[in-house]
Amino acid sequence: MNELQPDELAEITELLQQGKKLAAVKRYKDLTGSRLGESKDAVEKLAESLSPGTTPRAALESKSGCFGMVLFLVTSLTAAAVCVFFVAGIF
């Protein structure tokens, strides 16, 4: 599987910004030699994280994914439970 060059990444990003997700997946697949499912996942990840301040390269290289979100939720819920127990006088 090949890594995308900056101009290729810009091309895929432009397709996404034009609302051409299917074309972006096909182009990613053609450029990288990835399987269709891998291409779709990579382009969806890129599309989801195209927000102000996020570069397309950083979006594709992000590794936290679901684990990062689960860790955040567990930590938040634990902190909330400790606060509830503290207020209730259990601690």
Domain coordinates of the chain in residue numbers? 6-88
73 CB-contact burial (10 Å; exposed 0-12 / middle 13-18 / buried 19+): exposed
Alpha-carbon span 64 to 83, nearest angstrom = 27
5, pLDDT greater than 70 = yes
* pLDDT in the model for residue 4: 82
More confident residue, 54 or 40: 40
pLDDT above 70 covers a percentage of the chain that reads 73
pLDDT per position as a tens digit, 45-79: 888 877 665 556 655 665 555 666 666 667 777 87
User: Structure pTM?
Assistant: 0.57
